[in-house]
Structure 1
Amino acid sequence: MTAFTAGTESRFAQARQIADAVLLEGYVLYPYRASAAKNRLRWQFGVLVPPGYGTDSGEHSHQRTECLMEPRRGDRLAVELRFLRVQRRTVQRATPTGGFETAEELELADRVLVPWDEGVEERVELVVTVDELAGAEVVRPFALPACEEMELLRGPGGPAGRLLRRRERVDGVLRLTAPEVPGPYGARRLTAVVENTGAWVPRPDDRREAALPHSLVSAHLLLGLDRGSFLSVTDPPEWARAAVAECRNEHTWPVLAGPPGRGQVLLSSPIILEDHPSVAPESPGVLYDATEIDEILAMRTAALTDREKREARGTDARAGAVIDLADSMPPEVLERLHGAVRGLREVTGNAPEQPWWDPGDDPEVDPARDRVLVGGHEVGAGSRVLLRPGRRRTDAQDLFLDGRTAVVEAVLHDVDGSVHLAVTLEDDPGADLWRAQGRYRYFQPDEITPLEGP
């Protein structure tokens, strides 16, 4: 087990820009104050709690990444586990007797301090040869001891207070295997499991906030090969599709990282991303990762009152950096956030004045009278149906309607020959309003079950 090579470190450095966006996703949200309701329920991604916290909590104690890789002879695998460790901050005010007392707020000239959970970045690094992974499981345990820090705060007349920061012990293990995949290409199935093995056990009245200091937060993996490459789990080559379909990923999703066309680095993220994700080059700060939304946030942040900015600076150093950035951003930098052209294509010829197929002018199409056969029953406008959204649905709003009854308002055909049923919910008190505005929910015939009765 040796250190990263210069090439691996360089490739990881490029991938860390998007990995940092994953690490700090939702860390602190506009208006960047601890008092804001949206900043009171934090740490929503990649939280690995101690196993004693229990599965009934809805949290998990492990992540499992599986993917295919094509290593070269004598290749090495570099692994970097990255996560935030919760650091609980207590605010204390100086007393006239020279002591300190815990306070809910401490106002200083430049900031307003309140109790807050800070996130300290931690890394666990491991380098193994691919040959080591062929024979047996490689296990890398790690332990981060508890520690405390004190920061004295001074005012005009001497000590104004202090901040007490405490980190709890965090234990975990990283497990790696990479057996060969049958076939002529020399591929291997890499399995990387990250587990929280902490011995902390909650008391009966402990809630999620008590488990967080013992957890791995925003946990994700960077995996790199010296010379070989990883295969895309989203779009694998044809010969590897069957083997990729057998990969099991739990509570994380692996994507190719780095420049398009290269596969030496893989990011396994608790947030589902596409292959080769990137942060907009116009975005100037760590908590900025887009364009127009960053422009809106920058302008709204600059418009906060002085008191609100002091509260944000006292909430967290990262929030304070966002405030400082918004206050100091030159106009030319702000302008670059106002949209961006990523590519151009030539358009030749004149656009037709009318579409090549207009259902309104087609006498063979009548949404109000057309019928479609579903399970031996004709279904059309006025039919009662039971909604059964298919698994291909990615919109949670549609999945919530599973098992609800609806009335078909129209049968629609598209240019590809597919049929769609426009429906309104039977128990929706606003159905008449949606109907009058022509706003419906749409399902395909295999996503409904016909019901008897008008």
Structure 2
Amino acid sequence: MRTSRPSAGFEDAEAITEAVLYEGYLLYPYRRSSGKNRVRWQFGVLVPPEWGEAHGLRDSSVAGSAEAPWQQTECLVEAHDTTIVRIRLRFLQLQRRVVEERTADGVHRAVDRVDAGDRTELSFDEAVPRRFDVEASVADLRRGRRFDVRIPGGEDVEPLVGDRGEPVGRVVRRRWPLSAQVTVSAVPCRTPFRLLRLRIRVENTDRTTPADSPRDEALRCCLLAAHTLASVSRGRFLSVLDPPEWAAQAARDCRNVHTFPVLAGEPGRSDLLLSSPVILYDHPQIAPESPGDLHDATEIDEILSLRTLTLSDAEKREVRATDPRAAAILDRVEGMPPEMLERLHGAIRALAPVHRPNDVTADPALPWWEPGADAGIAPETDTVLVAGTLLSRGSRIRLRPRRRGTDAHDMFLAGRTGRVEQVLLDVDGSRFLAVTVDDDPGGELHQWYGRLRHFRPDEVEPLTAEVEA
């Protein structure tokens, strides 16, 4: 068995796990009044089981961000019985922030807003990061281990004073107890080499939430943005996205529910794994140019930063009153020096010359482009030859997306059939296919407004009438 270097701990994945933890926590324009910030907590929400059953949130085999009472990770690991497996569960605990004004007779009553000198406080939900660590040997995990998670509730009170130091109110932050269970097991796979399937199941075990509670109340006892990290000593994880051929069937047999595991840390490392409700690729990284978390890792930092700078003074005041993390984003963006903002404009990760196809007179050291052409729009061509079959509009195909260098979502379409809608020509002379997928409920709508899925010729298999029959 090949082994990787000893684990340096979960810290090597800290930046990406923070992005997962706070993905969607609060979105631009970072104001409470914004519509997109009124329905919150969209990723990795583990709900109380009875509440989930009452609201139709039953078990599913789909990996993703759907709300459910549990999530499950299955991954592949090469290890001996003495190998130590370390698992860290990370999530947010809801913290309800209520502002109260102080009346003339010294009584506090809940209100929507309190102004305290230059400071404004709004009633709004926050969240507190939590983690739970477990450790066991592979020998122990062969028998299965169960760990109870108990997070206490609590209440904090912060006084608010006016310009002259007089008490004008207070901020009350309240948290409710959370209970969950982590079950871990390791079973051998039927492979030619030693291989184990590691299963990590996280369940919300809260029994205090009434089944008829509105979502806003049920969230108090939910695990938010729940995800797991795993590391091994003297062992290695195999990529589920790109396993070696001898482990390919074992990877396909892994059942990941509401979360999906990828290798973490620097490329080449195999002793660290991240299982996230946000679908990622192996060894995900935060762009080195990023100056800090904007709570939207799927957006572009430059756009968000420039938009934030355009907020009016009144909007910025609301941002600061909405959430301390929002205030920190605003401070960071406003204090960003020009050279840092310029770094966000773009970065070249690699250089590769692009040559004009079929033009032997072109300088091979120079890139090419057509005058007036829009590099973002690929012209349509007629056909492309794939495995001896000429494909064109209307051709039937089976999808065989690559394991590397492609959209991570495409892997879920492997083996599905579809129809070629367009054969397109890229600016570098390569062809690719725009397709619709069979049995897609929104297929007709996607076709109507041109939202098609794109694959390279080597990612499809031509279908003949005999093959489909």
Alignment TM class, shorter chain as reference: 0.7 to 0.9
RMSD across aligned positions (CA):
4.0
Q: CA 1:133–1:306 in 2, change beyond 3 Å: closer, same or farther?
A: same
Preserved contact between residue 179 and residue 189 of structure 1 (Cα < 8 Å): yes
Q: Is the aligned partner of 1:49 residue 2:47?
A: yes
Aligned to 1:145: 152
1:259 CA displacement:
0.6
Q: CA 1:201–1:288 in 2, change beyond 3 Å: closer, same or farther?
A: closer
Q: Which structure has the larger Rg over C-alpha atoms? A: 1
2:258 pairs with 251, 260, 263, which one?
251
Aligned to 1:25: 23
1:79 pairs with 87, 101, 105, which one?
87
Aligned 1:7-26 pairs, distance under 5 A: 8=7, 10-26=8-24
Structure 2 residue runs without a partner (length 5+): 58-66, 361-379, 384-391, 402-406, 414-418, 437-441, 455-459
Q: CA 1:413–1:326 in 2, change beyond 3 Å: closer, same or farther?
A: closer
Task: Encode CA deviations 1:114-171: one digit per residue, 9 max, x unaligned.
Answer: 211111000000111122112x111110111221111111112311211111111110
> 2:300 aligns to what SS in structure 1?
helix
Aligned to 1:216: 223
> 2:218 aligns to what SS in structure 1?
helix
1:291 CA displacement:
10
1:277 pairs with 278, 284, 290, which one?
284
Q: CA 1:149–1:391 in 2, change beyond 3 Å: closer, same or farther?
A: farther
CA distance in 2, matches of 1:366, 1:81: 50
Q: What is the TM-score with the length of structure 1 in the denominator?
A: 0.77
CA distance in 1, matches of 2:211, 2:146: 31
1:417 CA displacement:
10
Aligned to 2:113: 105
Aligned to 2:369: none
Preserved contact between residue 262 and residue 281 of structure 2 (Cα < 8 Å): yes
Aligned to 2:199: 191
Task: Encode CA deviations 1:163-216: one digit per residue, 9 max, x unaligned.
Answer: 111111110010000122234422111000000001123253x22111111000
Aligned to 1:200: 208
Preserved contact between residue 157 and residue 173 of structure 2 (Cα < 8 Å): yes
Preserved contact between residue 91 and residue 114 of structure 1 (Cα < 8 Å): yes
Preserved contact between residue 282 and residue 291 of structure 1 (Cα < 8 Å): no
Structure 1 residue runs without a partner (length 5+): 1-5, 355-364, 371-379, 400-405, 450-454
Q: CA 1:391–1:259 in 2, change beyond 3 Å: closer, same or farther?
A: closer
Range with bigger deviation, 99-108 or 282-291: 282-291
CA distance in 1, matches of 2:25, 2:12: 22
Q: Is the aligned partner of 1:299 residue 2:297?
A: no
1:292 CA displacement:
8.2
1:52 CA displacement:
1.2
Preserved contact between residue 209 and residue 221 of structure 2 (Cα < 8 Å): no
Preserved contact between residue 292 and residue 339 of structure 1 (Cα < 8 Å): no
Q: CA 1:395–1:131 in 2, change beyond 3 Å: closer, same or farther?
A: closer
Q: How many residues align?
A: 399
Aligned to 1:233: 240
Preserved contact between residue 27 and residue 296 of structure 2 (Cα < 8 Å): no
1:349 CA displacement:
6.8
Aligned to 1:122: 130
1:411 CA displacement:
8.2
Q: CA 1:326–1:194 in 2, change beyond 3 Å: closer, same or farther?
A: same
Range with bigger deviation, 227-236 or 139-148: 139-148
Preserved contact between residue 73 and residue 261 of structure 2 (Cα < 8 Å): yes
> 2:188 aligns to what SS in structure 1?
coil
Preserved contact between residue 398 and residue 461 of structure 2 (Cα < 8 Å): no
Q: CA 1:140–1:366 in 2, change beyond 3 Å: closer, same or farther?
A: closer
Q: What is the TM-score with the length of structure 2 in the denominator?
A: 0.75
CA distance in 2, matches of 1:442, 1:80: 36
2:175 pairs with 167, 170, 191, which one?
167
Q: CA 1:150–1:133 in 2, change beyond 3 Å: closer, same or farther?
A: same
